[in-house]
Amino acid sequence: MIDLLGVKIYGDVTIGNFLIAIFIISFGVFLAKVLTTNLRRTLGDRIEKNQRELVLKVVYYIIVLVAFLTALPFLGLNPSGLLVAGGITGIVLGFASQSVVSNFISGIFILWEKPVKIGDQISVAGISGYVEDIGIMSTIVRTYDGLYVRIPNNTLFTSEITNLTGNVARRFEYVIGIRYSDDVDRAVEIIRGVIEKEPFALKNPAPAIFVNDLGDSSVNIVVRIWSPVQVWYDVKMALLSRIKEELEKNGIEIPFPQRVIWFANEPEMKHRRGE
Amino acid sequence: MKVGYGVYPLQEMELKFGRHTLRIVKESEVFRYIRESKDGRVEKVLASREGKIAVNPVEPVNLPKNVTNYLEINFKNTLLIEPGHRKTFFTTFPVEIGVFTTGKGDIELIDVFSNVNLKYSLYGDPRNGVVCRYWESELYTNLPERNPLEEGIMRISIRNNFGEWVEVSRAVFNVYLMKIYYSDEMVFSNAEMEILSKVSAETKFLMDTMRDGMRKSVEVFTPRKVPVVTKRFFMEWGV
């Protein structure tokens, strides 16, 4: 058995050395996993998920890197020698792994710049959804219809990112048309009353309600409301129907598109009909 | 039917809190918690052999759902305070009522409700500001009387540390570390505001109660987060 372990695979590296190297790397990975699992449990919800995942990733990769560097001498590789021997090999590898390195560097910049966080809703490169994970190489987005999309960090970093939940509050807008015969001031007052009753329609910035357009069939009132970003879509969905109900309850109607047609020869037609 | 905050043994009972009625009904091995109001009905099953029910005012940022830890009290009558001056006022704050159950182990929040209107606001800008529970109150120089099921009384000591007169129209608080005390007559909290410039101030909650015999509320928010929760809130977007 001892003889078997002493069998050389290449150079001075024996099977024993090889097994030790595998053991060190496996132990490193095992240790990293145990430590990050415990760390995740300990941190719980005490820090933001985004920061927690970043800490866990850093801890994980540092332990694995240390294990890997520790194992290298057993495989006959001297890390300091690698630096010297880099040269042309490094350049070749650099070109070959250009996209990998590009994604890696982009990942570091994304984690540094933090244009997005885990849990944010983003729209990037034609994809919209929730950020599930930000990795070193790629970012995972769960689209609104539940699809798993992996975006390479290079694509994410070089694209225009719209973070839909990056600020604490956001604004949404309705255009509500009423009949020309309706009282505009009364309609504005009713809409204001409905908004006032909604807790998450923010008091400040105050909602803006004004006549924006005299349309073909209706007087168009624009309603702009600010809401906390966590609930803005719920508020947007709920408020419009409440406004419609309240307007109708007060006799103010939202008209159908209509067109009044006057015939040029109408007096003549009336005359023929004997009117 | 009982009316009032307090700690009750887990047993069949009925409590009235403004427009809300709380009932605990025993059903074979479990208890059923029921809260009814004109807004609807909340029902939960409590699987506990023996325990207690605590009903007390809690930090007013839980309803309709928790999106913030901040409370903004807007003063209806603006205060002008001279440099170096300190003055104690009373304001009101909205009361939310929390129902907790205790037994073996931790204390658990069952339900939160309120008898007052809910409104939120943004303090600062949408990028860096904070969403706050919004409340308007007079600045009283004497202790006002209020329905403890609707409004609490906050004693606020305002000190102008700035070298000029300052106009104060609001106070924003982080409700972490908000201490609420209650009795049958009053819900009370104690706070302090230090004005640092024309547009900035620091606020914090104090631990003192108003009168002897007041009970301290069980809190929904406790500083569980790892980063040290500062006892003060820095108002940097205007006072």
pLDDT mean by block of 10 residues, chain A; 275 residues: 72 84 91 88 73 81 89 80 66 72 83 85 92 88 94 90 92 95 95 96 96 91 96 95 96 85 72 62
Is A265 in CB contact (< 8 Å) with chain B? no
Residue in B with minimal Cα distance to A230: B67
Q: What ipTM goes with this model?
A: 0.90
**B224, A170: Cβ pair inside 8 Å?**
no
> Reduced to 3 states, what is the DSSP secondary structure of residue A93?
helix
* CATH 1.10.287 domain locations along chain A: 4-96
B127 touches chain A (CB under 8 A): yes
- Chain A residues in contact with B64 (beta carbon < 8 A): 199-200
Q: Is B229 on the interface with A (CB under 8 A)?
A: no
Average of per-residue pLDDT across B137-165: 95
Residue B126: its chain A contacts at CB < 8 A? 167-170, 226
In chain A, CATH 3.30.70.100 sits at: 169-249
A168 contacts in B (CB within 8 Å)?
122, 126-127, 129-131
For domain A4-96, give its CATH number from 2.60.40, 1.10.1060, 1.10.287, 1.10.3470: 1.10.287
Tokens of residue B193, six digits: 């505001």
Fold of A112-163: SH3 type barrels. (2.30.30)
Confidence of residue B224 (pLDDT cuts 50, 70, 90): low
The closest CB to that of A204, out of B63, B121, B127, belongs to B121
Quickly state the pLDDT bin for B226 (edges 50, 70, 90).
very low
Contact between residue A259 and residue A216 where contact means Cβ atoms under 8 Å apart: yes
Q: How far apart are the C-alpha atoms of B191 and B163, rounded to whole Å? A: 22
Tell me whether A32 touches chain B (CB under 8 Å).
no
- Check if the beta carbon of residue B90 is closer than 8 Å to that of residue B153: yes
- Average the pLDDT over B111-138 and give the result: 95
A-chain CB neighbours of B120 within 8 Å are: 199-200, 202-203, 228
Which alpha helices (DSSP H) does chain A contain, by range?
Answer: 2-5, 15-43, 49-71, 79-85, 87-96, 98-113, 153-158, 184-197, 232-249, 266-272
Overall average pLDDT of the B110-129 stretch = 94
Would you call A270 an interface residue with chain B, using a CB distance cutoff of 8 Å?
no
Q: What is the DSSP string of chain B?
A: -B-S-EEEESSSEEEEETTEEEEEEEETTEEEEEEEETTEEEEEEE--SS-EEEEEEE-S--SSS---SEEEEEEEEEEEE-TT-EEEEEEEEE-EEEEEEESSSSEEEEEEEESS---EEEES-TTT-EEEEEEEE--BSS-----TTTEEEEEEEEEE-SSS-EEEEEEEEE-TT--EEE-SS-EEEEEEEEE-SSS-EEEEEE---SSTTPEEPPPS----SSS---SEEEE-S--
Cβ contact (<8 Å) for B120 and A45? no
Rounded Cα–Cα distance for residues A102 and A241 (Å): 49
Which CATH class for the A169-249 domain?
alpha beta
A200 touches chain B (CB under 8 A): yes
Residue B1 scores a pLDDT above 60: no
∠ CA(B158), CA(B159), CA(B165), 5° rounding? 105
Q: What is the pLDDT of residues B153-202, one digit of tens each?
A: 999 999 999 999 999 999 999 998 899 999 989 999 999 999 999 999 99
Of the residues B131, B132, B133, B228, the best mutation for testing chain A's interface (the one with the most A CB atoms within 10 Å of its CB) is: B131
Joined tokens for residue A243: 């406004």
| CA nearest to A166 within chain B | B127
Does the pLDDT of residue B139 top 60, yes or no? yes
The pLDDT value given to residue A42:
80
Pairwise CB contact (< 8 Å): A47 & B226: yes
Kindly state whether B113 is in contact with chain A, defined as any CB-CB distance less than 8 angstroms: no
Tell me whether residues A170 and B226 touch, CB distance under 8 A: no
Give the max Cα distance, chain B. Answer: 68
Q: Of the candidates A43, A168, A196, which has its C-beta nearest B131's C-beta?
A: A168
Other CB atoms closer than 10 Å to residue B82's CB: what's the count?
10
pLDDT at position A52? 78
CB contact under 8 A, B131 and A228: yes
